[in-house]
Structure 1
Amino acid sequence: MADELFEMAHGNPKLARALHENLQTLADHGNEKLREMAGAVLDGGSLRELALSDTYGEEIGSAFDTFWHRYQAMPSEERAELDSLARERFYEAPENY
């Protein structure tokens, strides 16, 4: 796994692994631009540089906007449950590897 992904995950191996898995999912199933970008990162490219580039930045921004609007539209109880699940998965659950 790339050092950059581990650094972006603040040294948390669960977060780094999830980031890598999500990049693999994008490489396999994202739209054309996201597949291309994720593949470049998985091949050793810098996620930071690619995400900020003119080529991919707009696509990533659009995907994040979609996520953020859906998250904000969730009832507060549903957001709290999602937040709790994320904390359990990435910070509190025992390592499964």
Structure 2
Amino acid sequence: MDWLRIWFDLAGGSFLASAVLGLGVALKWFQTGGFRWVHHALFTVTCVLAAVAASSLFWSSSPAGWFLLPAAVPLAALPAVGSSNITRHAALAAAAAPFFLVSLLVAWR
């Protein structure tokens, strides 16, 4: 079992799920109503999984963690930006996407 790939897959999948949920709500494809906590929970899970994946720098010889580390900056800034300005929130969240993608590709290399 290749733990490196699994952690990067889980982190990327969680990021994608959170982004799709946020985009769906922003575009009014669906409403979360009293279940806004689901998006917040997905964001928290994404951050934890990304931290575990990035910790591969300590337990793996793969450089994938270096490619994921910059995603911490937009992820850390998201709570401060909030969702009152949805354009800024979405742009900041999207800024993390390339780092998740490249790190996933490097992990699978």
TM-score (norm: length of structure 1): 0.37
- Give the helix-richer structure, 1 or 2: 2
Higher relative contact order (CA 8 A, sep 6+): 2
